[in-house]
Amino acid sequence: MSQSLNVELAHMPSLLSLYRKIFFGRKPGWDEKPLPLIQVRVANADLSAAQLTQYAKVCGFNFDGDTLPPTYLYVLAFRLHAVIFTHNSMTFPLLGMIHLKNSIQSFRTVKAHEKVSLECALTSSELKDAGLEFELVSKVYVGTELVWQASSTYLYRIESAGRRARPPRAGDMSWDNAKVWVLSDDLGRQYAKASGDYNLIHLHPLLSKRFGFERVLAHGMWSKARCLAEVMPIIGARGFSVEVEFKLPVFMPSEVSFAFEENDTGLVFELRDLKGRRPHIQGHVSYLD
C-alpha cells in the first residue's frame, strides 16, 4: 500500500532553491516500491503583475493586464510539483523524468488581483513498457471555488523496460497554411525569467551538455503555452479543456511550424518541425459549455 503524506506550505516555494536539490542532490533511483501519495498545499498566494506581463510576452499571449493566461497557473503549480519531486520519500531524480502529457481545465478566467490557493497531489503510478508512469493533479481555488485544474503525466525511464517506442507520426490535418515561428537561442532564458523555472537544460548549450543534451531544449510547457496563445482569440472567455501530448523535443535555435483546425467540439492543433513532418506537440481543445 502506498504511503500518504501531506505537506502544508506557508508561502510559495522558490524554484531556485528546489533546483539546487534537483541538480546537485543525489538520489539512487526507483526502489521498485509503490510511490507515496504526496499532497502539497499553499493558501492565498499573490499574483505578480510584472511576472504575468513578462510571461505573457514570452509566450505570445495578448495580456490585458487583468486576465491570466490559462497556462500561467501551471507555472505556480509546478513549484508544488518540485516540492514533491524533491521530497525525501521520492528515490529517483527529476533529471530521470520525461513529461509525457498535460491537460488543463480552465473553468473560468482568473484575474490578476485575485488570491489563489493551490494544491497538488501525486495520485497514481503504474509500471509501463518504457518505465514508471505517474500522475500529478493540480487544483487552483479562489476562495472555495475551483477555477482551474491540471493533470501531468510523467515517465521515469527504466533502461531494462520493454522495447523502444516507434517515432511519432504527424496527424492528418492540412499543413498548407501553417505558421512558422523562429525560436531564438535565448528563448529558454527568457522563459526562465518569466516563469522562475531555471531548469539548466533549457538555459545554455554548455549547461545542457552536462546533462546529456547536445543542444538546448525548449521547455515543453512554453511550447504548449505558445500554441494556446495562438488560438485564445477563438476560445475567448469560455470555459475549456486543453490536452497535449509531448512528442519530439524542440531544440533551440530552430524554426517550427504550427497549425490548427476547428471542429464541432473545439479545435485540434499541432506543433511540428519546419517541414511539417515531425510532431513536437499534438493537442486538442474542448469547450466546457
pLDDT per position as a tens digit, 94-108: 666 788 999 999 999
**What are the helix (H) ranges across the chain?**
15-24, 49-59, 72-85, 187-195, 205-210, 220-235
Report the candidate in 161, 99, 91, 95 with the shortest Cα–Cα distance to residue 136: 99
Q: What is the pLDDT of residues 169-209, one digit of tens each?
A: 999 999 999 999 999 988 988 998 888 776 666 666 666 66
How many angstroms separate the CA atoms of 149 and 263, rounded? 24
Kindly list the distances between the CA atom of residue 287 and the CA atoms of 144, 217, 258, in Å, as whole numbers in the listed order: 23, 31, 21
Q: Nearest 5 degrees, angle CA 168-CA 243-CA 36? A: 95
Non-local CB neighbours of 271 within 8 Å, separated by 6+ positions:
223, 226, 227, 250, 256, 257, 258, 279, 280, 281
Of all residues in the chain, the percent with pLDDT exceeding 70 is 84
Query: In the predicted model, what is the mean pLDDT of residues 249-255?
Result: 91
Do 79 and 41 touch, CB atoms closer than 8 A? no
Q: What is the pLDDT of residue 15?
A: 72
Cell of residue 11, nine digits: 508561502
Non-local CB neighbours of 26 within 8 Å, separated by 6+ positions:
none
Q: Sorting pLDDT into bands at 50, 70 and 90, what band is 224?
A: very high
Q: Is the pLDDT of residue 167 over 80?
A: yes
Kindly list the distances between the CA atom of residue 234 and the CA atoms of 204, 221, 245, 266, in Å, as whole numbers in the listed order: 35, 20, 21, 9
Over its C-alpha atoms, the chain yields an Rg (Å, rounded) of 19
Query: In the predicted model, what is the mean pLDDT of residues 135-159?
Result: 93
Query: In the predicted model, what is the mean pLDDT of residues 256-267?
Result: 96
Do 211 and 231 touch, CB atoms closer than 8 A? no
For the chain, give the number of residues. 289
Query: In the predicted model, what is the mean pLDDT of residues 5-19?
Result: 83
Q: What is the pLDDT of residue 89?
A: 76
Cell of residue 224, nine digits: 504548449
Chain mean pLDDT for the chain: 88
Q: What is the pLDDT of residues 78-128, one digit of tens each?
A: 999 989 988 887 776 666 678 899 999 999 999 999 999 999 999 988 888
Q: What is the pLDDT of residue 209?
A: 60
DSSP per-residue letters across 228-251: HHHHHHHHTTS-EEEEEEE-SPPE
Q: Is the pLDDT of residue 24 over 70?
A: no
Query: Which amino acid is it at 72?
Result: Y
How many angstroms separate the CA atoms of 286 and 244, rounded? 12
State the residue for C-alpha cell 504527424: 170
Q: Is the pLDDT of residue 251 over 80?
A: yes
Q: What is the pLDDT of residue 157?
A: 77
Q: Sorting pLDDT into bands at 50, 70 and 90, what band is 165?
A: low
State the residue for C-alpha cell 519531486: 85
Q: Is the pLDDT of residue 162 over 60?
A: no
